[in-house]
Amino acid sequence: MLNREIGPFDKVFSGKISGATAFVVEHDGARPTLYVDVNRDGRITPNEKFNLGLGMDDQQAGVAVVEFPLSGRMPGEYPVRVYVYRAQENSNSRIVGESPYALARGTVNVNGRPILVKYSLDTQNGKIDLRHGWQGMDVNGDGRIDTDVASPEDLLAKDESLIFHVGDEYLSTKSIDFAKHEVVLVSRSPSEYQTITLTPGTVVRDFSFADFNGHRHKLSDFAGKTVLLDFWASWCSPCVADMPHLREAYSRLHDRGLAIIGMNGDDDASKALTMIAREKLDYPQATLESTRELQEKRFRIYAWPTYVLIGPDRKILAVNPPDLQGERISSGLEHRLAYDLRN
């Protein structure tokens, strides 16, 4: 089939997608096409042809979703989102990226209410590890699972049993049986729910941390101030780009009630120290060693930088708002402080 669809001026690139042989054909005057030997039988059939949709920028040749069959006894397919990039250094090659995991979705009836759930799926053995990987639950009942970085509906388990706050219930998944199409949820005690929901109005419970000099601090040490938690790491380019603006904001506004606490995410403390010294950051910096559980199990930070703005009453005001990004950080914080003083 493939040979019949290649024109004399088309470019053909070959490679692998999820272990399957694949070809990208860039047509003269038309959108590229992706061909994948989905069933791995050594030939391309008409149902293994995928039109590449428009990419997000000029470097993307296109995007497609390919459905692969699940291996083993488990029936069904799993989707893989495929991204094809033009290699800047070599016009005769293409770079292919693919979504790193598959998700199993379903609906569970809880007290007469259907709740949408999803779980990371190991496509090789058709299993779900409930203590590791992504899980989702439609907490607010809007019929979808919000995947925003601040969402309480999409959480990453790291050797733990995840708890979701659904209405008046606190729920965990006890077991999943694909053969019976059965998902068993169990109730948990409210005291077991440690996640800090990153939405405006949430009260942030007091926490402690150590700085890079070994001194201990608590959030309550900054009582009466507006506190910006800056979750950053030295390997995060946007984090580093924002540092001059954070430094300027702190210099201008800390006497007017602004506190900034750096929440570092570097496993190598020496890299964090180098960055702190280079950027002349003179506000408190928490070590990852002293805040790992706080970052991973309570705030559940999955993206860097993440900015959490907390008011003097210790309620969250905003998470990653547009006015606290890049060059707008200093002016955005100034406006928010002025608003707090007026109110």
pLDDT band per the 50, 70, 90 thresholds, residue 75? low
Backbone φ/ψ region at 297: left (φ over 0), alpha (ψ -120 to 50), beta:
alpha
**Share above pLDDT 90 across residues of the chain, in percent, rounded to a whole number:** 66
Using one digit for the tens of pLDDT, what is the confidence trace for 244-275?
999 999 999 999 999 999 999 999 999 999 99
Q: How many CA atoms lie within 13 A of 124 on its CB side?
A: 3
**Residue 269 or residue 76, greater confidence:** 269
Nearest in space to 146 (alpha carbons), one of 134, 154, 135, 156: 154
What's the rounded Cα separation, in Å, for the pair 260 and 279? 15
Q: Residue 171: beta bridge partners? A: 164, 187
Backbone φ/ψ region at 294: left (φ over 0), alpha (ψ -120 to 50), beta:
alpha
What's the rounded Cα separation, in Å, for the pair 159 and 108? 23
Please give the pLDDT value at position 3: 67
What's the rounded Cα separation, in Å, for the pair 1 and 71? 26
Answer whether CATH 3.30.310.50 is correct for domain 208-342: no
What's the rounded Cα separation, in Å, for the pair 95 and 17? 11
Please give the pLDDT value at position 2: 67
Entry field: residues in the chain: 343
Residue listed under structure tokens 């199409």: 181
**DSSP 8-state code for residue 219:** G
* pLDDT over threshold 90, residue 99: no
Using one digit for the tens of pLDDT, what is the confidence trace for 164-186?
999 999 999 999 987 788 899 99
Using one digit for the tens of pLDDT, what is the confidence trace for 287-334?
999 999 999 999 999 889 999 999 999 999 999 999 998 999 999 999
* pLDDT over threshold 90, residue 57: no
Q: Where are the domains of the chain?
A: 3-98, 102-192, 208-342
Average pLDDT, the chain: 90
